[in-house]
Structure 1
Amino acid sequence: MTALPSAAEISDILRRCRRDWLPAVFPAGRIVSGVFYIGSPHGEPGSSLPIPLNSERAETIRDFSGGFSGDDLDLYQEARGLSRTEAMAEAAQRYGGITVTFGQNRPRSQPKPPRIDRPANANAAVIPLSIDPATPVPALHRLGQPASVWEYYDAANRLVMRHCRFDETDSDGHPALDARGKRRKQFRPLIRTAAGMEWKWPTPVPLYHLPDLLANPSLPVLVVEGEKSADIGCDLIGERVVVTWAGGSAGIARADWSPLQGRDVTIWPDNDEAGAASARKVVAEAVKAGACSVRVVALPQGLPETWDLADPLPEGWTDEDLERLIAEALPAEGVGPAVAPAGYQPGALDFVWFGDIAVDLDTMELVEGVLTPGALSVVYGESNCGKTFFATDLALHIALGWRWRDRHVVQGAVIYVAAEGGKGVMNRIAAFRRHYDIASAPPFAVIRSSVNLLDPDRGHTEALIAAITHAAQHAGMPVALVVIDTLSRAMAGGNENASEDMGALVMNADRIRQETGAHLMFVHHSGKDTSRGARGHSLLRAATDTEIEVSREGAETPSVARITKQRDLETNGEFVFTLTSVELGRNPLGKPVTSCIVTPAEREAPSDGSGKRRGSNPPPAAQRYAEALLNAMIAHGETRDGKRGTTLQHWRDECVRLGLIPGGEDRDDQRRRSTNFNKNKSLLVEHSWVACDGDFAWSIRSG
């Protein structure tokens, strides 16, 4: 063990390991063009907190919704809810391989638990308990005591949240200023749960001044941005209830706007583009809540930028000027008692007004750069090119939540419709399970029968939707992917080249996607002229969001899966693979029964003369053995000849503890333990992740 490195050194370790720790700590985040996006330091989905993944120097990480500001260690500490020393020790051990000591009587930290690439339920409700108003607000590690505290009450007039503002200081203790010369500040919500006082948002967040709003049902409502503006607005403006929400622009979606139902609402925006954008979002929430009328104050020219009601009134202004602006507020676009024309059915054909259109930054890609949620894809190729193996491999990675080709994957349940017969698919799945030694049961199910997605009356569209819904309930998570293998069998005798039949198939596929939210993938065949793409009417390609062509030049050459169309992603990606045979057992005649698994065939980097492959990654199962080695090094590390490592026995014991190899003492368990451990150890050595010398092993992975 060694002394604890400095905070700057640990922050630098975390900066260089952002691709490892950010997805693990923030499972609801997403990666877009090399930037990791999350909605807050507490892990909420969103885009207000962007973090470059390949940063070469230290920089300040900021939550642009008005919250967090700090470095990698500050963010790690905030997200994990640890003290400064605890956060430093944990980060050093988990991502720097450094075991630290604080004195002889301090117990050693537990080994790092195995990482599971599985998105948590980021939308799980956080129900707050009431807070005793006499309870003091605790200090928040590096930020200290809050400069201001605003109290939020629920409909039962219980104190359920304190919204705290912390004023930042620089290294000398002086006020820290932003680029505009204003005091930098951070905001944190404090609630009480069964676990005690926690710095997190409740679900949903009540409006500020909610008891006043409910106690005065006949008064009009003025919505402002910020608690200071709301408090001052109550003094400046009479005969109205003044309310606001917590958390800036990102907090609008978290707030409960339902108390605005049936009320006359006026919105006073801050005097900048961000304020106008927030006002448009509040308009949409008020309309959705059923407000009787919604108006927006038109601010006059000449006001200082960002001016709001919390600022001093402009020279010469009086309270009457404020009242006049409110009285002259303009009706919000699209809101009002317009008379609907005959035949119009609200909700049947919804539209979004220009001013309400916002950039969608919150959608996670199902497979980074390859598949998007709820879309339609086609994987096609000639017979025996490996397209079904490719689709099965991709589907199993989604069900397991494993990274695929070093790309982020959002875990979800998978339904594989083996319309051409289930025996081959079952053996492929069994081969995958045996090769990767999977002991758990991922949310993956096979339908071993053909389906009719053509006929609207006698087809299986309704039945398949019901099956997907049932599978989601059984798995405890949404079905993310439905694979139909093959499109031809789903046509149920229809004509692939006829626009009517292909149109009916696409319409039913769209219905499945819309009603279940699942991504639907067809496995399909190439046409006679392979240069013209997938077989059938061009209507299919027009409706497809992602198209992947699988080809193989000869029986001895690798297969290549190439993305040939993307609707919402960059059309880029070529995945080379081979099929590795896996023996499953013996048939009644004593002959081996085999199937295949997909093995990535990456471009080889130049050899260093050792014969070891460099520049490629071992299979995901072997990578878990590498993580077990790091755990064993943390718990039982020693140094030999200047190399920090551990014994093979300690490594093997950690693999048993993590369930990677069996721990029993009978002969079969011992044989499997030895075989699996040695196989994966050899893979890690071959890919230059691990080195061994006799009974001693150490990690040599770079980057």
Structure 2
Amino acid sequence: MNQYSYFKTPPAEFPPRILGCETISANAFQPDPDPDYIVQRFLFPGEVSMFAGPSNLGKSAIVASIAAHVAMGRDFCGMRVSRAAILYVAAEAAKGVLKRAYPFLSQRSAKAAAFAVLDMAVDLSNQQEVQRFATDAANFRDYHGCENLMIVFDTLNLCMGDGDENSSRDTGRVLANATYLAKTTNAHVLIVHHMGASETSRPRGSTTLTANVDTGFTLHKADDTQPDGTVFIRVHKQREDEKPAPMAFQIKGFEIGKNRHGERTTVPWAVPFRPDSSLVEESPTKASKKAGPTISTLRAKDLLRVLTELHKQDGGEWHKPKEIGQMSGEPFNSIRGNADTMRKKVRAALDALLAEGRIEESGKGVRLRSGGAKTTDQSAQGPLH
């Protein structure tokens, strides 16, 4: 046998594994023109992002605004949103996060939104702890009946144990574990961090914090020509898509009542500028169509999700169709501005669920059918309008 005889070995039926892993054929790969997203062109499932900004400029308020829109399935800054369960790890100030989410989640339309705050730190430098957290996070997502999940860690320096944010080894380990968490749960993992006192274009600490994330964005104060409290976020890194335009917000006070002295009490409120603002995306890119469930099926599924969540909260109270429509998610966004069309499509989706025996209806409203049995409610009085 000469030194080249191994080239004459008959080819195997399947390509050989490399270090135990299958290879991916590049010439057979077809990019997806309509990839899944959490926020279109901005945040994607299975990926990690880093949001950095100066202290006291509104980082947590903006993250709470993003998370609330995602939990409710409502378009954000002119970009489409896929509804997701929100698990917010508030290592710094859980009550502060709850206050900043309150202006959005106090609305009746947010009653069925899956948004939970964890008042503790999770050590992203500890692989075993991250593995346990991944299992619990997936269970949290499934409990709320969501296909998507978004996990926020606020802030990095409190979620890396004894690690040093200036060490490329420590930050590399943290981001490797965050990537593991994103991949195993198919979640988007958003990490909140600070900027340095003299560095306003990237996160404080090791350059690994910029290099090893899929999406990186930073918070900046607008110039004096803008209204008071105006800030904007700029995406400086986007691995999977073109960068969206800067997104502007005004940090306002949202009144929650009066204190014992009769004085007005407020909580921070990050209000996105309208979509036609010069600082935000004017309109989202139209997504290519691909095979999948019909819009009618998606709407029925979304209302079933709302009724399931309400059943967990109230144990089976009746709810009017209009109330349920107000809590609906992204499948209804395109018709939400037309009250008559919205009423008809909500009614059609509820009728589909009634026909399947998934819900029951009476003169008091509709609710999830206990046990899923297809029996007729004796108190039913026909469709509600």
Pairwise TM-score range, normalised by the shorter structure: 0.5 to 0.7
Give identity over the alignment, percent.
Answer: 27
Q: Is the 8 A contact 1:367 1:410 kept in 2?
A: yes
Alignment pair present for 1:550 and 2:219: yes
Query: Do the aligned residues in 2 keep the contact of 1:430 with 1:584 (CA within 8 Å)?
Result: no
- Mapped to 2, the partners of 1:603 and 1:477 lie a distance apart of 27
Deviations 1:480-515 (A, max 9, x none): 211111111112232100112111111111111121
Q: Which amino acid in 1 is paired with 2:185? A: T
**1:468 paired residue among 115, 137, 146:** 137
Q: In the alignment, is residue 366 of structure 1 matched against residue 44 of structure 2?
A: no
Distance in 1 between the 2:276 and 2:142 partners?
A: 44
Given that 1:559 and 1:578 are in contact with CA atoms closer than 8 Å, whether structure 2 keeps it comes out as yes
- Kindly state the Cα deviation for residue 601 of structure 1 after the two structures are TM-superposed: 2.9
Q: Match for residue 627 of structure 1? A: 338
Mapped contact 2:168–2:208 kept (Cα < 8 A) = yes
Residue 584 (1) aligns with residue 256 (2): yes
Q: Report if the CA contact (8 A) 1:372-1:519 is conserved.
A: yes
- Partner residue in 1 for 2:174: 505
Measure the CA separation in 2 of the matches of 1:391 and 1:605: 20
On the 8 A contact 2:77/2:273 being kept in 1, the answer is: no
- Structure 2, unpaired ranges of 5+: 1-9, 284-325, 328-332, 345-364, 367-385
What residue identity is the alignment partner of 1:336? E
Match of 2:244 in 1: 572
Contact 2:196–2:203 at 8 Å: present in 1 too? yes
2:78 alignment partner, SS class? coil
**Matched ranges for 1:634-673 at <5 A:** none
> Do the aligned residues in 1 keep the contact of 2:83 with 2:148 (CA within 8 Å)?
no
Q: Distance in 2 between matches of 1:559 and 1:632?
A: 37
Instruction: Give the Cα–Cα distance (whole angstroms) in 2 for the partners of residues 482 and 508 of structure 1.
Output: 13
Shift of 1:455: 3.0
Aligned equivalents of 2:259 and 2:11: distance in 1?
70
2:194 counterpart of 1:517: no
Q: Equivalent residue for 1:290?
A: none
Aligned residues: 285
Q: Tell me the equivalent position of 2:198.
A: 529
Alpha-carbon distance in structure 1 between the residues aligned to 2:173 and 2:261: 46
Mapped pair 1:380 → 2:52: yes
* Alignment RMSD (CA, Å): 3.5
Shift of 1:378: 0.9
CA distance in 2: counterparts of 1:578 and 1:547, whole angstroms: 21
Distance 2:78 2:263 in 1: 37
Q: Is the Cα contact below 8 Å between 1:560 and 1:574 reproduced in 2?
A: yes
CA displacement 1:307-346 (0-9 Å, x = unmatched): xxxxxxxxxxxxxxxxxxxxxxxxxx975278x69xx664
2:165 is matched with 496
Residues 593/454 of structure 1: CA separation in 2 closer, same or farther (3 Å cut): farther
2:151 matched residue in structure 1:
482
Using the alignment, how far apart are the partners of 2:164 and 2:63 within structure 1? 24
Q: Is the 8 A contact 2:218 2:236 kept in 1?
A: yes
Q: Displacement, 1:556?
A: 2.6
> Aligned-pair distance for 1:590?
5.9
Return closer, same or farther for 1:532/1:442 CA change in 2, 3 Å cut-off: closer
How far apart are 1:529 and its partner, in Å?
2.0
User: 2:99 aligned with 1:427, yes or no?
Assistant: yes
1:292 corresponds to:
none
Give the distance between the partners of 1:605 and 1:516, measured in 2 at CA: 35
Pair member with larger Rg: 1
Q: Is the 8 A contact 1:471 1:479 kept in 2?
A: no
Q: Deviations over 1:20-73 (max 9, x none)?
A: xxxxxxxxxxxxxxxxxxxxxxxxxxxxxxxxxxxxxxxxxxxxxxxxxxxxxx
Residues 425-465 of structure 1, C-alpha deviations (whole Å, 9 max, x = no match): 1112222223x4435221221111112111345xx312321
- Report the alpha carbon displacement of residue 560 of structure 1 after superposing the two structures with TM: 0.9
AA of the residue aligned to 2:13:
G
**Equivalent position to 1:403, from 75, 82, 85:** 75
Residue 413 (1) aligns with residue 81 (2): no
Q: Please, what TM-score do these two structures have when normalized by structure 2?
A: 0.65
Letter in 2 for 1:627: N
The one-letter code sitting in structure 2 at the alignment partner of 1:548 is F
Residue identity in the other structure for 2:150:
L
Alpha-carbon distance between aligned partners in 2 of 1:472 and 1:526, rounded to the nearest angstrom: 31
Q: Residues 452 and 600 from structure 1, CA distance in 2 versus in 1: closer, same or farther, beyond 3 angstroms?
A: same
Distance change >3 Å, CA 632–CA 444, structure 1 → 2: closer
TM-aligned CA distance change 1:631 to 1:385, over 3 Å? same
* CA offsets 1:347-388 (integer angstroms, 9 cap, x no match): xx2211244322233522321121122111111110121121
When residues 475 and 602 of structure 1 are mapped into structure 2, their CA distance, relative to the original with a 3 A threshold, is closer
Matches within 5 A, 1:137-286: none
1:393 to 65, 83, 106: 65
How many angstroms apart in 2 are the aligned matches of 1:623 and 1:591? 40
Partner AA of 1:464 in structure 2? F
Residues of 2 paired with 1:413 and 1:445: CA distance? 8
In the alignment, which residue of structure 2 is the partner of 1:48?
none
Q: Deviations over 1:653-685 (max 9, x none)?
A: xxxx99xxxxxxxxxxxxxxxxxxxxxxxxxxx
Offset of residue 623 of structure 1? 10
| Stretches of 4+ aligned residues off by more than 6 angstroms | 603-606, 620-625, 629-633
The C-alpha deviation readout for 1:367-418, integer Å capped at 9, x for no partner, is 1121122111111110121121111111111111111122111112111111
Q: What amino acid is the match of 1:572?
A: P
Q: Against the structure 1 CA distance between its residues 605 and 438, is the aligned structure 2 distance closer, same or farther, given a 3 Å change threshold?
A: closer
Task: Provide the rounded CA distance (Å) in 2 between the counterparts of 1:345 and 1:623.
Answer: 49
